[in-house]
Amino acid sequence: MIEVKNVTKKYGRKKVLQGVSFTANKGEITCLIGVNGVGKTTILNGIMNLTPMTSGEILIDGEKLTKESYEKIAFIPDAITMLPHMKIAEAIQFMKDFYNSWNDERAEELLGFFRLKKEERISSLSKGNVAKVNLLLGLALDVDYLLMDEPFSGIDIFSREQIADVFTSHLVEDRGVVITTHEINDIEHLIDKVVLLDDGTIVREFHTEEMREMEGKSVVDVMREVYRG
């Protein structure tokens, strides 16, 4: 379980996050939703210790993040984090060199699934294919938790469909997944849990099926209540 406890983040005097608390469970897909610029990415960066939080605590399976944690929790940012001149094969080799949790078989499977060619340079790929390589580099790690920042934004519809397929496949099975998005429509049926952010705070946290069953509301209905006031 990923526990975010009372986390606050200030940039100078500007508060980006104010007492944010939520949990994301293993075996579930948790979706951080909010209109742009509400600190979704900051939360993921905070979980991965890529930027210091002003206060609060973040625990992964009850422990603070250490260097060993990066074998257990992977983050897929919204842009690929490999050097543009690298070939896909070189990017894969880089991951293989550093991570014990790298799973070569799965990497091969993903290459086939996304129809990517190893010899191509990242700089020569289409946006959609870059997004797929980016995803591959995270998904091929045998980690318990996967964080993804806006995996569906800025790419063509067919790439989106392919990426959505990943979520219903064994590639994600039994892992704890946290994704951020500002566009819920396509993936409403894919996610287990929703955490709604507004103005740096969490306004709602619920399971989607429970929300439908108990209140007969879709995720968009709840968002409408929250953001339209």
Which of 2, 24, 32, 80 binds another protein (CB under 8 A)? It is 80
- φ, ψ of residue 80 in degrees (nearest 5): -65, 145
10 lines the binding site for another protein (CB under 8 A): no
Give the separation between CA 204 and CA 222, rounded to whole angstroms. 9
Q: Which region among 15-23, 79-87, 105-113, 197-205 touches another protein (by CB under 8 A)?
A: 79-87
Size of the site for another protein (CB under 8 A): 50
Which of 26, 35, 50, 104 binds another protein (CB under 8 A)? It is 50
Least distance to another protein from the beta carbon of 61, Å? Answer: 16
- φ, ψ of residue 168 in degrees (nearest 5): -100, 5
Where residue 87 falls (left for φ over 0; alpha for ψ -120 to 50; beta otherwise) is beta
Q: Which region among 15-23, 49-57, 109-117, 197-205 touches another protein (by CB under 8 A)?
A: 49-57
Radius of gyration of the chain, Cα coordinates, nearest whole angstrom: 18
Expressed in angstroms, the distance from the first to the final Cα of the chain is 31
Interface positions, 118-157, toward another protein (CB under 8 A): 122
What's the token pair of residue 64? 């603070």
SS3 call for 65: coil
Sites of contact with another protein (CB under 8 A): 27-29, 45, 48-52, 67-71, 74-75, 77, 79-84, 94, 97-100, 122, 164-165, 167-170, 173, 188-192, 209, 212-213, 216-221
